[in-house]
Amino acid sequence: RARSRSQSLGWINLTFVCSYWRNIILNLSGFWTYIHHPMNPSCLQAFIERSGEQALSVSDKNFWETRRHEDDVLHITTTVPAIQFALEAAHARIAHLEVTDRTIYSMADAFSTHSLANLRSLRLNMQTQLGPDIVTILQPQCLQEFMLSGEQVVDLTLPCYSNIKVLELHNLRLFTDDIFRLLAGLRAMPGLEVLRIHGSLPLFMTAPPVSLREVQPVMLDQCKILDLGGAQDAVAALLD
């Protein structure tokens, strides 16, 4: 039974090969840094202990897919056990987080008590229309990489984004007003080195693209990689 449970963690099966391999793996702290759903309490405790002082990567991947049949009200009051455990045991070590906005809102109290001050990388999947200031709930102090997927735009002008070096936006539905807010956010990221926007510029619904020429230009002085994808007229208008 324990062996079948480990199938989802792949590499752990190597600990069954022989005692020599087992001792090596148990003492390699870098192998034990990925906390995700599903993990039972004993498994979570083992990962927290064996990861030592290493930075942790935490994810709610696959959690909400198993709860699609539940009412939305339940979504707002649901706790992701793996994330709750990581917050209580080692919130200061969480450097990489992959979550949906549902998780952040449903666990807002837990994040408030156990802030992610050392969070450096956030991959956020927006599934609702709950608000543009969602990342502030996490209280990050040194966020450097932000990957956003979903239709809603967050407020990138907030202080928690000021140190961003890598910004990726995927599958957003940006109307003209959203484009203006996006440009304002980019101006507030002087150290931005990588900007990727894919499939996020489909339509300018409330004003013609020419209106973009009237806004203050965005100077990407530190940007090394610029990757824009979407409707040709929208991309051209941004680069004009």
Specify the pLDDT at position 135: 93
CA-closest candidate to residue 167, choices 175, 183, 176: 183
Sheet-wide strand order for 194-198: 34-36, 56-59, 94-100, 121-125, 145-149, 166-170, 194-198, 225-228
CA-closest candidate to residue 147, choices 129, 124, 130, 126: 124
Q: Whole-angstrom Cα distance, residue 153 to residue 31?
A: 35
Q: Whole-angstrom Cα distance, residue 45 to residue 43?
A: 5
- HSE toward the beta carbon, residue 191, CA cutoff 13 A: 10
Specify the pLDDT at position 124: 94
What's the DSSP call for residue 124? Answer: E
Predicted TM-score (pTM) of the model is 0.84
Specify the pLDDT at position 99: 94
Distance of CA 143 to the CA centre of its chain: 10
Specify the pLDDT at position 68: 58
Mean pLDDT, 10 residues at a time, over the chain (240 residues)? 45 76 85 90 93 95 69 61 95 96 91 96 85 88 94 86 95 74 90 86 48 74 87 62
What's the DSSP call for residue 222? Answer: T
**Cβ-defined contacts of 155-160 (< 8 Å, 24+):** 155/181, 155/185, 156/181, 156/182, 156/184, 156/185, 156/186, 156/188, 156/189, 157/181, 157/184, 157/185, 157/188, 158/133, 160/135, 160/136
CA-closest candidate to residue 102, choices 133, 80, 69, 132: 80
Which residues, other chains included, contact 111 with Cβ-Cβ below 8 Å and sequence gap of 6+?
A: 87, 104, 137, 138, 139
- Is 48:42 a contact under the CB 8 Å cutoff? no
Which residues, other chains included, contact 105 with Cβ-Cβ below 8 Å and sequence gap of 6+?
A: 76, 128, 130, 134, 137
Pull the structure tokens for residue 160: 């928690």
Specify the pLDDT at position 31: 87
∠ CA 8-13-17, rounded to 5°: 170
